[in-house]
Chain A
């Protein structure tokens, strides 16, 4: 994990001091709410339906066990004993008092954490995939470059008042688990035929009311030029992005209106003038940062444990099921990465984790791994380095804390935004709909038979729940002050990302479990062998689904 030095610590101290003073000035009236707004947003503080909400950065989704304990402490001292892990790999606390926010920032800073740029029209938390550094299919570790980009973007003076929010993701595996194409700038790190690390740069992805996937504007960018290239993109965007209409202010609209090629040409022109500036990354800097992400001291113990796990699985179908869905291959023999599901169903909304659970996870990270925890954009927690021989013990411990639901990647591993229960922008609630669907699909054997199937819910067009990318997407819409839900099918995340299509008229909340059941039944009826849901949808199209879903009501879709 990256560790702060004196420079990083000093910067954070100055930042928290400045924020404390800003809060004092707000409370005294020296700052108007309008003037305070962007300042507090740049420090992760929203005003929500009931209270202030604080969004804490978890850079590229990586936490130490000590940091997770601090988050638990914050939940207990200043919130209601839980936090919400989000699709941005951050954590949100929903019940914060403005007066307490500076103390919370100080507590975070002590643990080398912050809330800088988790909101506002700035470069947001850089994200990557949750198995970074350990995935068996990884080409390179994306975290050092993510950290370099984090530092470059933190309080970057030219880009702190952009037209709109700006999100960057980087992936370096053969499988894209970071939703790269749904980002304003998406980066794929790979090696070229000579083994040199290169970047493929995509621009113009984003969801919200105009969902779009990013387009490639640059192939084979040598890694040293990462920050200057992003700087060129941002300068073009800062100067030419629309500011007259906030719904058209994202970079995707600029790329669309200029056309990808003219946009890319503009970026190249700008980049040519700065490409050899001192911002060019040096190997020494890369090496310094990469040293923080060096492989931990793995024990050399491939072999006997594999048999042990197999034996335990044979005797225990529940454990076997969990191993199948929640255990992910590791690049080091004898190890695995484990996903702890935050989606038990009625017991908790997706992404919500209690302080007691956080402490338990921190303990397991120490006991079974190297003290590290990850947050996935699917809102789950990951222990990246678990000895295979400890899987059974961990599974039992996780069971006892309701974190062992064997549903990763399955229908009930629902991604959901906080929706109308918390969010003041919502058109509809998300959590009760997610839970009603989870309750309908409790039969784990059936779920496992259905295979990988993603279900995403957003409470409004802002798409915080990535509903466009769900194989099944649910969008809360408002009709005459009532909550309705629109369904999309065919969305996918990953390298073959696709945006789902609406199937027809929206439904009432009570209808949703039945609607999902009918969609699933249609899939089962048309599926070829073990075909995944998204392939079936692609093959047969929307018509059979519409027919079945709308048949009962005797309506035309």
Chain B
């Protein structure tokens, strides 16, 4: 059984996972009953246009870097799982996609990084709103877990914590009022 990393409020853990990712060019999904599938966004859109009834608990979507998803954002919000694909770990578009899904469109379901997902990127991914990580198959997933605990300090706000460090510093050491003073 495939494993993924799931970031929970109590900490990140390695868990078994049942989702099948249907990659482009694999044709229409023919899946045994009870399995769950992540469809490429264009296919999901087409099936919906065609009026195909999709089981909300068993069908999710994965978004590719070039996919136009903003027009569909309202409908995506209902999905239990959205994945964002990293075609190469150096391609950073997925970070902004996650930021937008979480902060702009308010997606609350599970947000998963798939594709070229590696240990040293997990911390950044989590900060941008991902809460599950499909680590590249040839990597040791328990080792990858450590990528989430390397840091306790964050200078700037992000999805995980929008309040930048400077506001926390100010709370820790309250200064006089923030007024009547110019540069």
Contact = CB atoms under 8 A, between A and B. Distances in A.
Interface of A: 5, 7, 10-11, 14-15, 17-18, 22, 30, 35, 38-39, 121, 140, 148, 151-163, 195-197, 223, 227, 235, 238-239, 243, 273, 277-279, 281-288, 290
A151 B162 contact: no
Interface of B is mostly: loop
Contacts of B151: 11, 14-15, 18, 155
Contact of A157 (B93, B158, B163): B158
Contact of A156 (B97, B143, B156): B156
A155 B92 contact: no
A140 B183 contact: yes
Interface residues of B, number: 44
A197 B152 CA distance: 34
B96 interface: yes
B120 A39 contact: yes
B44 interface: no
B124 interface: yes
Contacts of A158: 92, 95-96, 99, 124, 127-128, 158
Given A15-B151, A286-B183, 6 more contacts: A151-B155, A155-B154, A158-B99, A239-B97, A278-B162, A278-B164
B169 interface: yes
Instruction: Output the residue of B92, B123, B125, B152 with the most chain A CB within 10 A.
Output: B92
A27 to B, nearest CB: 15
Contacts of B90: 38, 121, 161
A238 B92 contact: yes
Interface string B76-107: 00000000000001111101110100001000
B165 interface: yes
Given A18-B150, A238-B92, A7 B183 contact: no
B109 interface: no
Contacts of B125: 157
Contacts of A159: 92, 95
A161 B158 contact: no
A379 to B, nearest CB: 29
Contacts of A148: 166
A159 B99 CA distance: 11
B93 A279 contact: no
Interface string B114-130: 00001011011111100
B104 A273 contact: yes
A13 to B, nearest CB: 9
B146 to A, nearest CB: 8
B153 A10 contact: yes
B170 A285 contact: yes
B167 interface: yes
A30 B182 CA distance: 53
A116 to B, nearest CB: 11
A87 B143 CA distance: 40
Contacts of A239: 93, 96-97
Nearest to B123: A157
B50 interface: no
A243 B150 CA distance: 29
Nearest to A286: B183
A156 B123 CA distance: 11
A283 B176 CA distance: 10
B166 A151 contact: yes
Contacts of A195: 182
A345 to B, nearest CB: 42
A158 B155 CA distance: 13
Between A161, A163, A279, A283, the greatest number of chain B beta carbons within 10 A of the residue's beta carbon is seen for A161
Most buried by A among B151, B163, B166, B178: B166
Given A157-B158, A160-B92, A7 B169 contact: yes
15 contacts: A7-B153, A10-B152, A11-B153, A151-B166, A152-B155, A156-B155, A157-B126, A158-B127, A160-B95, A235-B96, A243-B91, A278-B167, A282-B170, A283-B179, A284-B178
A160 B90 CA distance: 9
A11 B155 contact: yes
A468 to B, nearest CB: 28
B29 interface: no
* Residue from B118, B124, B128, B170 with most neighbouring chain A CB atoms (10 Å): B124
Chain A CB count within 10 A is highest, among B123, B126, B153, B179, for: B153
A29 to B, nearest CB: 12
Contacts of B163: 278
Contacts of B127: 157-158
B26 interface: no
A158 to B, nearest CB: 5
A14 B153 CA distance: 9
Nearest to A145: B183
Contact of B181 (A235, A278, A279, A283): A283
B55 interface: no
Contacts of B124: 155, 157-158, 160-161
Most buried by B among A17, A39, A152, A284: A284
Contacts of B118: 35
Contacts of A22: 120
A399 B162 CA distance: 53
